[in-house]
Chain A
Amino acid sequence: MAAEVVVETRNLTKVYRDFWGRRKKVALNALDLQIHKGEIFGLLGPNGSGKTTTIKLLLGLLFPTNGDAFVFGEPAAKVEKNERIGYLPEESYLYRFLNAEETLDFYGRLFDIPSDVRRKRAAELIELVDLARDKKRILREYSKGMRQRIGLAQALINDPDLVILDEPTSGLDPLGTRWMKDLILDLKRKGKTVLMCSHRLDDVQDVCDRIAILYGGDLQELGAVDRLVEDQKRLEIRASGVNLTDDLKRELTAVVEKHGGKLETFGHPTTTLEDLFLRIVEESKARPGRRFLPPAETATATTASS
């Protein structure tokens, strides 16, 4: 049986309304997701596709218009679940008048962590995010990448079981990006569950186990990264010494079906995630209303576990 479900959404829908209650924007439409313990789950989608909205709904910062969100089996509105969550916001929304040490101390207190543990953990985290030299400077003076680092430290202050990262690599230099990716993989190794969203598709491909692709609030694609980038519908034949004419194609097909010819490769090629992403976005644009339909076996799994 599959691992424990850490995050679950059922028919999760969010409609932003204006002051008078009129609909402004359907930011998320009937999302059904399950994230299991120990996996790194990526949310992908173009700007404004509802990634951050999904995360805020899971954290209880927004209230669903319809449907439900559960974290550790509890409704997202419950405060207690936050004990086991670490969250790195899109922009590092921290108090700019505090320095790094004070920031970690402040958030540590919010977890009601006793002071000796708090101090020890803060020192470790500052070391981990490589801010030891700047720990006494106030955050207003920090660069974007430094703020991202202290933001991550803040998210880990309670040694969370579920880490939610909204664009963790934004603002980081290539070295920093590498470091962040290693860190995420490290979290997985420690048995943590990670939910992240990102635009940087190579990052996602490098670290994520499973991904969901959102477009316009609709779920477009869901599955394991290796399976998704594996293109089931095409066959690649590598040949030399001939020009690829229609005739040749027809004949090659015939030949391959029977025998003969010099077949150099034959199998399922992999594309880059970027190709997949662009293709899905193109298709979604071309066919409004396109939605991901879970294959039969996933569907039964969902109902069985709920």
Chain B
Amino acid sequence: MSSLPLFGLLILDREHAAPVHFLGLFQAWLQDAGGFAALGLLAYIAYALRTPPEQAESAKHRSGVNSWMLLMAVLATLCYAGYFALILTGKGRDTVNLAQYMQAGPGTYVKHEPPQFATDYQPLVLTLGGLFALLGIGQPFAASLARIRFRRIWALTILGFKEAVRSRLFWVFLFFLIPVLFPTHWFYPGKAEDQLRTTIGVTGFVSMVLLLLSAGLLAAFSIPNDIKNQNIYTVLTKPVERFEIVLGRFFGYGFLLSIALVGMTTIGWLFIFSTKVDESAASESYLARDPVRGTLEFRSRRELRGERFEGTNVGREFDYRRYIAGDPSSSQRAVWHYASVPSSLGKNGDSVPCEFTFDIFRMTKGEENRGVDMTIRVVTWQTPQIPPRDQGDGTWRWADPARQKAYEDDLKKAVEEAGFAGQNPAAVVAGARPGTPAWKVVNDLAKKYGYYEFAGKEVFDYQFSKIAVPSGIFENAREGYPPKLGENEPTPPMVSVFVNCTTRGQMVGMAEGDLYFLRSEPVPSHWAFAQNYFKSAFGLWCRMMLVIGLAVTCSTYFAGVIGFLITAALYLGGYFSEHIADVAKGSYLGGPFKAMNQLLEAKAPTAQMGDTPVEKAALTLDTGFSWLVRRVINLIPDIDAFTWTSFLSEGFNIPPAYLLMNLAVLVGYLLPWFILAFYLMRSREVAA
């Protein structure tokens, strides 16, 4: 749902797919695309077997079933049978990915994470079944691909290109000049520091609408028009693989609109580059921060009683942020864990920037123009922390008191040796900044003990704040690996950042994306911004190709208008895919069968279920339903995965690896559609 985060903070309500997720994604793809492939394969074989034998050669050639397809169909069927047997006996459940759905209670915020590779029997068997189905249904497709000739594709590409050019399509893109010619702050008067965000947002939006509309319209009407004008007769009586027409259209319009995209992006960039941007806007957006992110966990002294603290929900923003109470005696902490530390972190220079933005929810009216005081404590695995026992004091303790004592003694000594004799060691640490003699003391101690604390950092609502963390912390963390605590215990993190608020009467809201280390000190630069700007255009390019691919597929079967509407519905549905997925996961009020049962029995929707056989059946059906919906949902593209505008306008570097994964996801999404297009095109009587 983050389609319009243009005027806010970077909301990272999903984990973007990185190369480490590739295997998991590939497995999920085999399962989901494979499921559709299995249905397609069955339907195809049923259709082919129905064709009467006397309808000899030409029919057989068109919808022939070879032994390979039959073999794959049998293997896939065996796998699916095995899968359902496993489900019925309850064995081999997917422990990696399913846990995520199961833990989520009604209405909770679930972070969207890419699927992980699961080695349990159920997912493996399902994956295998999908693989066989894909191999079966994909064989004629692959055979046709092998006959494709580049020269023909190129001819068809150029044809689509010329057609669009000679119908003077490019004039449409002049609309793009509107926001460029009229400065956007004429329309959206806003805060000075939002000026660049607004410009990026508006130019991005205009180019997106122009491109995607043209893409959808051109592609959806392409093949239907060819059939209507009967041009396709002349083309198909040449030695053209029918699928080459689909590919030719796809590449032709892709090529054309890529040129338009490059043109608009360049003009937009020149425009942003040449306008005088307010100082504050430049310093916030002309950056390309390279953050190192951790995972967020909330903790408090409740742990001592064996309970968990999950952060407080104040009922804002879909629960995206969780809140901790501000009070010196509060033991509530937001803790960012780093399971690993990039080797480059802290290698150049003696400090690493740690940046954060928090949402401050005022319970009492604080002083005007004053922020709240936060304490940030960074520790390594060598210095584990435990919650305070004493109710009056919120400060967390070292798990090893002797080590804490040694640290305090060392600190005193080091401060004296460094020439701060007579001064309070805590004050020296608090005043230490990189480049000062005191910082050397801090850094050495951090290296020795793996501990650093910055107390009393004043933080304002939704504004970037930054502290320097001594590089010694990371050197300390890299001295070894955290020992495993027990058989079923997770490995402790390498580095943890504990954050708490000491101003009374405030709630401070945090989400995982709100705090991070920076690989390097970000410097506002046009060059970094330009790179990021063009990288975010790549996300738009992916969406454009996705629309073209979808629309061309639709156009192999539907009339232009219908194809366009279907494409539009699928694309727009993509903006809600996470929401729909949530519903499918049953994280709202439970599934339709439960609801129906409750309606019939006139029960409250929150009533507990699961006693009577009917209720049990309803729950089972709901699980099945949710499973089905989760699979069908995959028809809808995950549009947000390709949207980088917020990274750009908030000044975060878009990692190239993410873009690589964008490409992989795009190919994975379009491939099954193209296989469908192949079959539709092959079975189409163009002259009827």
Give Cα distance in the complex from A85 to B239, angstroms: 9
Confirm or deny: A107 has a beta carbon within 8 angstroms of a beta carbon on chain B.
yes
**A275 cross-chain contacts in B, Cβ below 8 A:** none
A154 and B234 contact, CB distance less than 8 A: yes
Known A89-B233, A97-B167; 12 more pairs at CB < 8 Å: A59-B236, A60-B58, A61-B236, A63-B685, A79-B240, A79-B242, A82-B239, A93-B229, A94-B231, A98-B159, A110-B155, A110-B240
The 10 closest A-B pairs by CB, nearest first: A109-B155, A110-B238, A61-B687, A93-B230, A75-B57, A97-B166, A82-B239, A87-B237, A75-B58, A77-B61
The residue on A at minimum CB distance from B54 is: A66
Contact status of A56 and B152, CB under 8 A, knowing A61-B233, A66-B55, A111-B239: no
- Asked whether any CB of chain B lies closer than 8 Å to the CB of A64, the reply is yes
Could you tell me how many residues of chain B have their Cβ less than 8 Å away from some Cβ of chain A? 39
A59 touches B237 (CB 8 A): yes
The answer to whether A68 and B57 touch across the interface, beta carbons within 8 angstroms, is: yes
Please report which residues of chain A, range 45-92, place their CB below 8 angstroms from some CB of chain B when the two chains form the complex: 56, 59-64, 66-70, 75-80, 82-83, 85, 87, 89, 91
Q: Which residue of A lies closest to B684 (CB)?
A: A63
Residues A107 and B238 in contact in the complex (CB < 8 Å), given A63-B58, A76-B58, A77-B58: yes
Instruction: Note all chain B residues with C-beta closer than 8 A to A85.
Output: 237
Contact with B along A129-148 (1 / 0, CB 8 A): 00000000010000000000
Would A98 and B162 count as touching, CB distance under 8 A? Answer: yes
Q: Is there an interface contact between B239 and A110, defined as CB atoms closer than 8 Å? A: yes
**Does A83 contact B234, Cβ atoms closer than 8 Å?**
no
B546 smallest CB distance to A (angstroms): 27
Q: How far is the CA of A63 from the CA of B152 in the complex (A)?
A: 24
Q: Which of A61, A76, A110 contacts B685 (CB 8 A)?
A: A61
Interface residue tally on A, bucketed by range: 35 or more
Instruction: Contact check, B239 vs A112: say whether CB atoms are below 8 A apart.
Output: yes
**CB of A292 within 8 Å of the partner chain:** no
Across-interface contacts of A158 in B (CB, < 8 A): 238
Interface check B650, CB cutoff 8 A:
no
Report the bound CA distance from A67 to B687 in whole Å. Answer: 18
Query: Could you tell me the distance between the alpha carbons of A298 and B239 in the complex, rounded to whole angstroms?
Result: 34
Q: Within 8 Å CB of B59, what residues of A? A: 63-64
Contact A16 B239 (CB under 8 A): no
Instruction: Tell whether A179 is near chain B: CB-to-CB under 8 Å.
Output: no
Which of A56, A89, A106 contacts B159, CB < 8 Å?
Answer: A106
**How far apart are A139's CB and chain B's nearest CB, in angstroms?**
11
Cross-chain contact B152 with A64 (CB below 8 angstroms): no
Q: Which residue of B lies closest to A106 (CB)?
A: B155
B85 within 8 A of A: no
CA distance A66 to B229 in the complex (A): 28
CB contacts (< 8 Å) of B660 on chain A: these are none
Q: With contacts A91-B230, A93-B234 known, is A110 near B58, CB below 8 A?
A: no
Complex contact B233–A112 (CB within 8 A): no
Residue of A nearest to B55 (CB): A66
Judge whether A109 and B162 touch: CB under 8 Å. no
Name the A residues within 8 Å of B58 (CB-CB): 60, 63-64, 68-69, 75-77
Give bound CA distance, A80 to B120, whole Å.
47
B4 contacts the other chain (CB 8 A): no
CB of B403 closer than 8 Å to a CB of A? no
**With a CB–CB cut-off of 8 A, which chain A residues contact B56?**
67-68
Q: Does B154 contact A (CB under 8 A)?
A: yes
A69 to B62, CA, bound (A): 13
- Kindly state the separation between the CA atoms of A112 and B241 in the bound complex, as whole angstroms: 12
Shortest CB-to-CB span from A54 to chain B, Å, is 12
A9 to chain B, nearest CB (A): 11
Q: In B519-564, which residues have CB < 8 Å from any A CB?
A: none
Contact of A110 among B152, B162, B242 (CB under 8 A): B152
Inter-chain CA distance A70–B56, complex, in Å, is 11
Tell me if B688 is interfacial: C-beta within 8 Å of chain A.
yes
On whether A61 and B61 interact (CB within 8 A), knowing A93-B229, A93-B231, A106-B155, the answer reads: no
Question: Roughly how many angstroms separate A70 CA and B151 CA in the complex, as a whole number?
Answer: 28
**Which residue of the partner chain, among A64, A83, A138, contacts B239 with CB atoms under 8 Å?**
A83
Q: Is the CB of A109 within 8 A of B61?
A: no
Per-position binary interface string of chain B over residues 207-250, scored 1 when its CB falls under 8 Å from any chain A CB and 0 otherwise: 00000000000000000000001111111111111100000000
A96 to chain B, nearest CB (A): 8
CA distance A68 to B56 in the complex (A): 7
The distance in angstroms between the C-alpha atoms of A111 and B234, with both chains bound, is 12
Chain A, Cβ-Cβ closest to B686:
A61
Q: Given A95-B163, A110-B155, is A62 in contact with B685 using a C-beta cutoff of 8 Å?
A: yes
In the docked arrangement, what's the CA distance between A111 and B687, Å?
22
Asked whether, in the complex, the Cβ of B159 is within 8 Å of the Cβ of A95, the reply is: yes
Asked whether, in the complex, the Cβ of B688 is within 8 Å of the Cβ of A16, the reply is yes
